[in-house]
Amino acid sequence: MASACTRLEQAATKPPVSIQGGFAGEGAGGEGSFAGEGGESNGGSPPSLGGAPATIELGVWPSFAAEPDTDPDALAVLSAVSALSAGSAVLPLVERWDALSGATGSPRAVAWANLDAQALPYRDAGRKVALCIAVLDRSLDARPFAGELDTPAARSALERTIDEAFAHFSTELTQLCLGYELDRFVAEIRPAERAQLLAFLEHAVKYATEHSQRSPTTTIGVAVTLEAIATGMPSGIDDFTQLGSAVIAVYDPLTASSELKAPESVASDLEAALARIEETRPAGDVVRPFSLFEAGYPSAQALGSSERAQKLFFQALLDTLDASRGQVVSASLFGLGDRAAEQCDTEAPAFGGVLGSAQASRSLARCSSGLWAEADQPKLAWSVVLAALSKYR
């Protein structure tokens, strides 16, 4: 479930980064919690980020496993502050539509208050918030009502939710996206349903774009997977990615068959997506800014990975981002710390078509993608990410 990325899970570990006095454990070794990583510290070479002026908003997902019997809302704030103290320039937030709003679009006060509390330190520090309202949560429907989308009531409900987003995050809202990995849902519906969904999101994007409380710097778009942008699949997905003032992609380190991609392949994946965006750009249209969500890679040996592989991923990603400045304007790294297996097991079905061992691989990938492991130990990639955060701060 997308919202799990902004909340904290119950497990016996502490926040990986101290909110008091800088970066906790920064000088620790980099073995983390997985075997086979001995002999290499968490030092290493930072990515080649020199050169052109920094123009990318680089953020870190505020994820880590929480101690049992603790207030998850308070720990969500602690996690957000921990990411901020490490240098995160933007707070990425993803919430299902039905978690934010009732059937008529009326706000769920507790959910919005929790997001406000996480965003407050960023507001005070002059940093940004990127909010995705998961109208569709990957392959799952997240509408807060039963019924069709092509009705005035449905449009009004989403308008009220958008109103709430701008009321809570106006000047600091750098990005508002609707839907999350939308292509997973589009792949499973009929053409008539696809047309209805497209018309619904066209209206929502137009409403958000023309909103009286929208800052001129807030980009609007629809989030799909990076693979969908690069390949144009499923059929018709280009119609969705053309919506809004920004192209928003979500990275997936697993293939459609739930196999782990090579860590360095993120460079070619991103380059292919950016090239296709340019190829399919209508004549005369301006180049739209590109944002990348959940850019991360697991370190679990059970997936055939390691901390070294995770470090290679971030080196390749950050080098490619640096070379793509001017089109890529933001990237949110996934995530600050490893999470509890129970939460990842719960969200894995949202990816669709994952059963048995494939679902277990999905869960393990998401729960081992933190930059800090259990027992408060930084992984090898942490120093690479710290260097990048410092570069773009």
Q: What's the pLDDT tens digit per position in 209-248?
A: 999 999 999 999 999 999 999 999 999 999 999 999 999 9
Structure token digits, residue 38: 């001995």
Please provide residue 227's backbone torsions phi and psi, each rounded to the nearest 5 degrees.
-65, -40
Average pLDDT over residues 160-169: 97
Spatial separation of the C-alpha atoms in residues 331 and 184, rounded to whole Å: 21
Could you tell me the pLDDT band of residue 285, with boundaries at 50, 70 and 90? confident
Task: Transcribe 310-348 into DSSP letters.
Answer: HHHHHHHHHHHHHHTBTTEEEEEES-SB---HHHHHHHG
Is 70 exceeded by the pLDDT of residue 30?
Answer: no
* Res 111 pLDDT > 90: yes
| Whether the predicted pLDDT of 47 surpasses 50 | no
Structure confidence at residue 20 (pLDDT): 34
Q: Which residue would you say has higher pLDDT here, 334 or 65?
A: 334
Contact 143, 95 (CB under 8 A): no
Question: Which residues make beta-bridge pairs with 297?
Answer: none
CB-based contact 369:344 (threshold 8 Å):
no
- Nearest partner of 204 among 233, 182, 229, 232, judged by Cα: 182
Structure tokens at 216: 């001129």
Residue recorded with tokens 């299902």? 96
DSSP 154-205: HHHHHHHHHHHHHHHSSTTEEEEEEEESHHHHHTTS-HHHHHHHHHHHHHHH
Residue 101 in contact with residue 35, Cβ under 8 Å?
A: no
Question: Is pLDDT of 62 > 50?
Answer: yes
Q: Is 3.20.20.80 the CATH number for 2-18+38-392?
A: yes
Question: Model's pTM, two decimal places?
Answer: 0.87
pLDDT at 170 over 50: yes
In the predicted structure, residue 26 carries a pLDDT above the cut 50: no
CA–CA separation, 80 vs 63, rounded Å?
A: 8
pLDDT at residue number 358: 83
| pLDDT at 161 > cutoff 90 | yes
Half-sphere exposure of 282 (CA within 13 A, CB side): 6
From residue 239, give the alpha-carbon distance in Å to each of 109, 226, 275: 34, 15, 17
Q: Are 318 and 45 in contact (CB under 8 A)?
A: no
Stretch 80-85: mean pLDDT, rounded?
95
Indicate whether 45 pLDDT > 80.
no
Gyration radius from the chain CA atoms: 20
Give the pLDDT of residue 69: 73
Q: Looking at residue 67, what is its pLDDT?
A: 67
Cβ contact 4:341 at 8 Å:
no
Give the Å distances, CA to CA, from 57 to 27, 62, 233, 322. 26, 15, 28, 11
The predicted pLDDT at position 364 comes to: 95
Indicate whether 390 pLDDT > 70.
yes
| pLDDT greater at residue 6 or residue 121 | 121
Q: What is the mean pLDDT of residues 102-110?
A: 97
pLDDT of 24 reads 36
Domain chopping of the chain, boundaries: 2-18+38-392
